[in-house]
Amino acid sequence: MEGRKLRDMFGSESKPGTEAEEGRNTMSQAGPVTETSSQPQGAAASARRAKTLEAKEVNLYYGDFHAVENVNMTIEPNKVTALIGSSGCGKTTFLRSLNRMHELTPGASVKGSIQLDGEDVYGAGVDPVAVRRLVGMVFQQPNPFPTMSIYDNVAAGLDFNAGKIRKADKDAIVERSLRGAHLWDEVKDRLGRPGSGLSGGQQQRLCIARATAVSPEVLLMDEPCSALDPVATLAIEDLIGELKKEYTIAIVTHNMQQAARASDNTAFFNLDESGKPGHLVEIGPTQEIFTKPKKKETEDYVSGRFG
């Protein structure tokens, strides 16, 4: 796994940077597709070390509005990091900056650096498309492609950038991803049916399968359960516990029980008052944040005194 570099996955827009030499060395041994098919089958199979995401002095803006101020934090590999905090404190904005989705909003900009195993995803000449292949995302609303079948939804990401891929490989990846998302048994007899015909919880698991099919290093989840009922929520939380064996996971949640149940580390975001930028108050092992946080405002929040 260590062979994968952002710079391997450049399109034609790439400019040779300082690390280009290094990138070229690894390119031949590891294209994204061949690697995918040689990976262990099934999420429950032997664990692998995913990559670390590290934010350094990250400041985020929408036009002139300073949305997130000076965040320094590490999202540890093969762990679930929960981002909690009241509405408008910038946790979703921060999450979206991690795979360069933030800049898709017109006028949005980023300062600081975010490093994936030491490589800056905002580095000169790094293609955001390559970043998003390594740092996948699951959204608040399940968003399967409505005109595509279940199979095509899972395979959608494989067709991007990847050139031709053998049908047998594709079948294997689709099955592995659906098994990994605990959805295979429910849909294996109707892979050709539209993904939009599934229930909300199933659709969200379909989206997780779709995100994992391209074998990312990191999975970002933006309140993935907020549109789901409690049973479906529990299913997703179980799934998250499985997925961390393969991936580094960051999850934004408004549900504090969910943060407590599903995460290893918790980061608490807050803002002083409306209109001021949000900032990271503290980050630590979930156990600690919920029982003996270092800061008073964290304690107020997790004990339900505000927010």
Partner 1 sequence: MAHFDTTTNAGQLLAAASGGRRRRGDRIFSNISVVAAVTILALLVGVAVFLVTEGFPAFTAASSELPDHESFLSYVAPLAFGTVLAGVLAMVIAVPLAVAVALFITHIAPPRLAMLLGFFVDLLAAIPSIIYGLWGIFVLGPAAVPAMKWLEEKLGFIPIFEGPASITGRTMLVVGMVLAVMILPIISAVAREVFSQTPRKLQEGAQALGATRWEMIRTTVLPFGRSSVVSGAMLGLGRALGETMAVAIILSVSGGVTFNLIGQANPSTIAANIALNFPESSGLAINALIATGLVLFAITLATNFLARLIIARAEVK
| Residues lying near partner 1 in the complex (CB under 8 A) | 11, 99, 101, 104, 106, 129-130, 132-133, 136-137, 139, 141, 143-148, 156-157, 159-161, 194, 207, 210-211, 214
- Taking the least distance from each CB to partner 1, the nearer of 27 and 256 is 27
For the bound state, the minimum distance from the C-beta of residue 145 to partner 1, rounded and expressed in Å, comes to 6
Whole-angstrom Cα distance, residue 137 to residue 95? 9
- Taking the least distance from each CB to partner 1, the nearer of 214 and 302 is 214
Under 8 Å CB-to-CB from 67, ≥6 apart: which residues? 60, 61, 90, 93, 277, 278
For the bound state, the minimum distance from the C-beta of residue 291 to partner 1, rounded and expressed in Å, comes to 34
- The C-alpha angle with vertex 112 and arms to 110 and 116, in degrees rounded to 5, equals 100
For the bound state, the minimum distance from the C-beta of residue 30 to partner 1, rounded and expressed in Å, comes to 16
Q: Which CA distances in Å does 131 have to 2, 10, 75, 97, 245? A: 16, 10, 16, 11, 21
- Taking the least distance from each CB to partner 1, the nearer of 116 and 137 is 137
Query: Are 81 and 263 a contacting pair, CB within 8 Å?
Result: yes
Helix (H, G, I), strand (E, B) or coil at 83: strand
Element (H, E) at 108: strand 108-116
For the bound state, the minimum distance from the C-beta of residue 139 to partner 1, rounded and expressed in Å, comes to 6
- Taking the least distance from each CB to partner 1, the nearer of 106 and 230 is 106
- Taking the least distance from each CB to partner 1, the nearer of 20 and 129 is 129
For the bound state, the minimum distance from the C-beta of residue 201 to partner 1, rounded and expressed in Å, comes to 17
